């Protein structure tokens, strides 16, 4: 007999350990020994599984004859021995009321619930179990047991199938991609997929596994390499949901800018843009911070300033890319201010020259740059009608001062 005794009652210990007189053991097995209900139940389930055939036969018969109301109350109790919960969960002839009590007791082991779900003949029990979504998510074996039970009702099947589809089939798709990427040594890409918003509902946004693999292939930096400390509260508060129409408008805007800049727009590049725009704003921010040159080239044009700001925070961005960004008239002022204030990028003459010529660069930053420009560039700026009057006048004064005029 089991030595794991829950009850603190010495009579229970004496009975289970075989120290009690035989008549007392027989009386307990027949349910006539005066013991508290939970104590008697512990003795009975222990005896029912005993190698002592006489005690096992008496105890099993007593358990079958238990009053349903009493048994229901004991099995729902927080003090009921786990051995009793396991016994009734695994008993094919347990009444449905007892089975329902077992399912609603959080102390019942999930392995026993899975067995109950496989073997119960009660559709009502399966329906009750299918309602406990958290349990099904934590123990997929229970979910499969419900769906595999021939007594499963249409309602139980519907609920269990929905849970499986929502939390496991889509997750397996995401995990499948992540595992494949890790097998290729692409840890950063796998990490991106696992932490992405789109990975939770690829079907919902019209994304397939090929799309997800393609987006992951653009990732160059891991979470450890990317620094998101720049993203203060004022940025986080700007996160918002975008409709399909919003995203299409962004696609049209970016394509329009690329055409104006004379960039090649082969079908492949348009396909890349459309795939990127299947992602929500949060995932585009992550791609901007960790993605490759093509991703940066597209997302710097994103009208959402958080996405564009994330591009210049990308650890792989090059000086040549910053030089190009400094000349762009479609980027937010925040980006140009960031470039102008960065000591590393400000060492590049091409960068500061482009900033000075860009009418979107904040005037204060442009004024600080002017003194570093060569005379011929100052002279050109003093005649440039695309920039502000204040900058043009200051460029003229500086160029005259250097020529002695």
Taking only the tens place, the pLDDT of each residue in 2-42 is 457 888 899 988 999 999 999 999 999 999 999 998 899 98
Structure tokens at 383: 């005649």
Q: What is the pLDDT of residue 2?
A: 47
Q: What is the pLDDT of residue 73?
A: 87
Q: How far apart are CA 15 and CA 18, in angstroms?
A: 5
Q: What is the pLDDT of residue 234?
A: 64
CB of 136 closer than 8 Å to CB of 163? yes
Q: How far apart are CA 92 and CA 115, in angstroms?
A: 10
Q: What is the pLDDT of residue 171?
A: 57
Q: What is the pLDDT of residue 66?
A: 87
Structure confidence by residue, pLDDT tens digits, 161-208: 888 877 776 556 677 788 878 888 899 999 999 889 888 777 777 788
CB of 318 closer than 8 Å to CB of 296? no
Cα 301–307–313 angle (5° rounding)?
A: 100
In the block, residue with structure tokens 């890319």: 321
Structure confidence by residue, pLDDT tens digits, 124-154: 989 999 999 888 888 889 999 999 999 999 9
CA 301 to chain centre: 27
Q: What is the pLDDT of residue 275?
A: 93
Structure confidence by residue, pLDDT tens digits, 295-320: 999 999 999 889 999 999 999 999 99
SS (H, E, C) 86-126: HHHHCCCCCCHHHHHHHHCCCCCCHHHHHHHHHHCCCHHHH
> Where exactly are the structural domains of the chain?
1-102, 109-183, 187-315, 318-405
Alpha carbon separation from 257 to 38, 252, 327 (Å, rounded):
76, 9, 13
Q: How far apart are CA 379 and CA 353, in angstroms?
A: 13
């Amino acid at each position: 007999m089991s030595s794991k005794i829950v009850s603190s009652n010495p009579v229970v210990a004496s009975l289970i350990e075989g120290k009690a007189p035989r008549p007392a053991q027989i009386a307990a097995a027949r349910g006539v020994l005066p013991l508290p209900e939970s104590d008697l139940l512990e003795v009975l389930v222990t005896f029912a599984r005993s190698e002592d055939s006489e005690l096992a036969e008496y105890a099993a018969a007593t358990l079958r004859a238990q009053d349903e109301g009493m048994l229901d109350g004991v099995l729902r109790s927080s003090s009921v021995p786990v051995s009793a919960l396991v016994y009734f969960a695994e008993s094919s002839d347990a009444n449905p009321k007892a089975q329902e009590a077992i399912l609603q007791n959080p102390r019942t082991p999930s392995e026993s619930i899975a067995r109950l779900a496989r073997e119960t003949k009660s559709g009502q029990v399966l329906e009750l179990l299918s309602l406990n979504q958290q349990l099904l998510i934590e123990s997929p074996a229970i979910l499969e047991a419900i769906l595999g039970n021939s007594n499963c009702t249409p309602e139980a099947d519907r609920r269990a199938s929905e849970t499986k589809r929502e939390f496991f089939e889509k997750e397996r798709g995401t995990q499948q991609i992540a595992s494949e990427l890790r097998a290729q040594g692409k840890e950063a890409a796998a990490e991106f997929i696992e932490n992405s918003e789109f990975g939770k509902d690829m079907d919902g946004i019209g994304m397939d596994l090929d799309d997800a693999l393609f987006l992951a292939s653009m990732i160059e930096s891991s979470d450890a390499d990317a620094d998101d400390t720049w993203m203060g509260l004022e940025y986080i508060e700007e996160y918002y949901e975008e409709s399909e129409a919003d995203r299409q408008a962004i696609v049209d805007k970016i394509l329009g800018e690329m055409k104006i800049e004379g960039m090649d727009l082969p079908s492949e590049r348009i396909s890349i843009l459309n795939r990127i725009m299947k992602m929500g704003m949060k995932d585009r921010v992550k791609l901007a911070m960790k993605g490759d040159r093509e991703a940066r080239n597209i997302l710097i044009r994103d009208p959402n300033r958080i996405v564009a700001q994330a591009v210049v925070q990308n650890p792989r961005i090059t000086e040549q890319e910053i030089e190009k960004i400094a000349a762009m008239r479609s980027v937010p002022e925040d980006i140009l201010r960031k470039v102008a204030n960065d000591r590393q990028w400000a060492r590049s003459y091409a960068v500061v020259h482009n900033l000075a010529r860009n009418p979107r660069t904040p005037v204060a930053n442009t004024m600080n740059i002017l003194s570093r420009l060569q005379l011929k560039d100052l002279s050109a700026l003093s005649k440039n009608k695309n920039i502000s009057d204040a900058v043009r006048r200051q460029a003229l004064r500086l160029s005259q001062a250097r020529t002695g005029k």
